Amino acid sequence: MRQSQLFTKTTKDVAKEEVSKNAQFLLRAGYIHKEMAGAYDLLPLGLMVVEKIKEIVRQEMNKIGGVELIMTALQRKELWEKTDRWDDNMVDVWFKSELVSGNEVGFGWSHEEPMCDMIKNHISSYRDLPVYVYQFQTKMRNEKRAKSGLMRGREFVMKDMYSFNLGKEDHTEFYNGAIEAYKKVFDRVGLGDDTYVTFASGGAFTEFSHEFQTVVETGEDTIYLNQDKSIAINEEVLNDKTLQELGIARNDLQEVKTAEVGNIFNFGTAKSEQLGLYYTDEAGTKTPVWLGSYGIGITRLMGVLVEKFADDRGIVWTNREVAPFDLHLVSLLRENIKAADELYEKLGVAGYDVLYDDRPDARAGQKFADSDLIGIPFRIVVSEKTLDQDSVEFVNRKTKETELVSIKKLEAYLTTHV
């Protein structure tokens, strides 16, 4: 993409109420646009990052047998009443509205109930199970506070997966496999070293759950770590009983601030029994399906990455798997513009996604500041000075290291440095 054709512009200032680092930088760099508190538009750069993260998650979910679909966000009142989760006293984040007919409708904050209801049309025998389905869906949650940018929104993109198994043993095997798949996701986006499987409360879902918590100073959660045993406990379930069950002492735990980036829940057969989701086993007995639910906040992940890795200059994307582009080509040429155009085309043919700053009127300082703010992992600078040496300047955004690289050897250099 040529930067001159990118309609979004960078800015130095954002509204004072945007106190979170991720919102400030994503707004300033032109990744998102704020509609209202907790609701943001994804602009071209933001959409590119979200699609990159989705593809990582999609690949890992497919590897464990997941099949992708997409459900409507509109929710039937009578379906959720069967599980007592329509009640605002049970679930306090509903957005609800009234149809012209006078009936109430909800906007999806999760999809266990409609998923179970839909699956009823496709399974009857033990031969039809297991089934693992997932979607990337816009969720709506009426959060009381929405001051953390993409880390806590009222509207957000989520990957939610649902497992339908014959029984506890099959469910446990898949559940453990999902944990490992989640670890791979967080490794690939660059958060693996600081993301912990955390024992937590199930909230409006189940009695207990496992969360995936990423250590970040501005996170809204507090967890307690025992790194020697790789045990993490959310403060909401930290008590003598939990410590005894896990075989650890309170003094062995370190308190850290975190942001929740994923969670998984074991529903057992309770919800299937409430919704009438059964199958006939080999003996001909009517048996309830075993249900699990698995979530990853896609837009939240983008926010956490910015919150954790941004520096005083702007965003620092961890790798090309999540960055909107692989390379940022910055041209400082005033006369021999064709040389930069040819390099842009050459990099594209070599298979790199390139943002090409070809803006003719922008000063060098502005181009470098914008490049730092946008945060693409690697920058290639071409100028009269570098061309005099038949070279370009290669800059690592994270380490800020620079190196002069021969244009003839650039492709070979990139294969080991990008």
3-state SS, 67-91, equals EECCCCCEEEHHHHHCCCCCCCCCC
Give residue 339's region: left, alpha or beta (phi > 0; psi -120 to 50): alpha
Using CA atoms, how far residue 8 sits from 44, 170, 261, 339, 400, in Å, is: 8, 49, 28, 26, 25
Handedness of CA 205, 208, 211, 213 (dihedral sign): positive
Q: Which of 298, 305, 219 is nearest to 42 (CA)?
A: 298
Closest by Cα among 82, 75, 105, 80 to 91: 80
What number is the average pLDDT over the span 213-241? 92
Phi, psi of 319 (to 5 degrees): -165, 175
Q: What percentage of the chain has pLDDT greater than the value 90?
A: 90
pLDDT tops 80 at residue 339: yes
Task: Kindly state the average pLDDT of the residues 134-155.
Answer: 92
CB distance 158 to 136 below 8 Å = yes
Q: Which of 114-118, 145-149, 150-154, 292-296 has the lowest mean pLDDT?
A: 145-149
What pLDDT does residue 147 have? 80
Across the range 164-193, mean pLDDT stands at 97
Banded pLDDT at 206 (limits 50, 70, 90)? low
**Nearest Cα to Cα of residue 262 among 203, 171, 183:** 183
| Tokens matching residue 200 | 């937590």
**What's CA 165's distance to the chain center, in Å?**
26
pLDDT value of residue 201: 80
**Placement of tokens 């469910």 in the chain:** 171
**Distances, alpha carbon 146 to alpha carbons 7, 42, 218, 362, in Å:** 28, 17, 14, 36
- Sign of the CA dihedral 276, 279, 280, 283? negative
DSSP state of 235: G
pLDDT digits (tens, 9 = 90+) for 350-371: 999 999 999 999 999 999 999 9
H-assigned helices in 2-89: 21-28, 44-63, 77-81
| Preceding omega of 324 cis (within 30 degrees of 0) | no
Mean pLDDT, the chain, integer: 95
pTM score, whole prediction = 0.95
The mean per-residue pLDDT over the stretch 73-90 comes to 96
What pLDDT score was predicted for residue 335?
87
Indicate the Cα dihedral angle 218, 220, 223, 225, nearest 10°: -20
Query: Cα(first)–Cα(last) distance of the chain, in Å?
Result: 19
Q: Which two tokens stand for residue 132?
A: 């693992």
Partner residues linked to 68 by β-bridges: 134
- pLDDT range class, residue 207, cuts 50, 70, 90: low
Angstrom CA distances, 415 to 20, 324, 371, 418, stand at 36, 19, 22, 6
Q: What is the pLDDT of residues 380-399, one digit of tens each?
A: 999 999 999 999 999 999 99
Domains contained in the chain, CATH given: 3-309 (3.30.930.10), 327-417 (3.40.50.800)
Q: What is the pLDDT of residue 146?
A: 82
Instruction: Output the pLDDT for position 317.
Output: 98
- Cβ neighbours, 10 Å, residue 75: 24
Which one, of 307, 39, 267, lies nearest residue 157 by Cα?
A: 39
Q: How far apart are CA 62 and CA 417, in angstroms?
A: 29
Over 60: is that where the pLDDT of 181 sits? yes
In the prediction, which pLDDT does 410 show? 97
Specify the 3-state DSSP secondary structure of 30.
Answer: coil
Where residue 351 falls (left for φ over 0; alpha for ψ -120 to 50; beta otherwise) is left
Strand, helix or coil at 95? strand
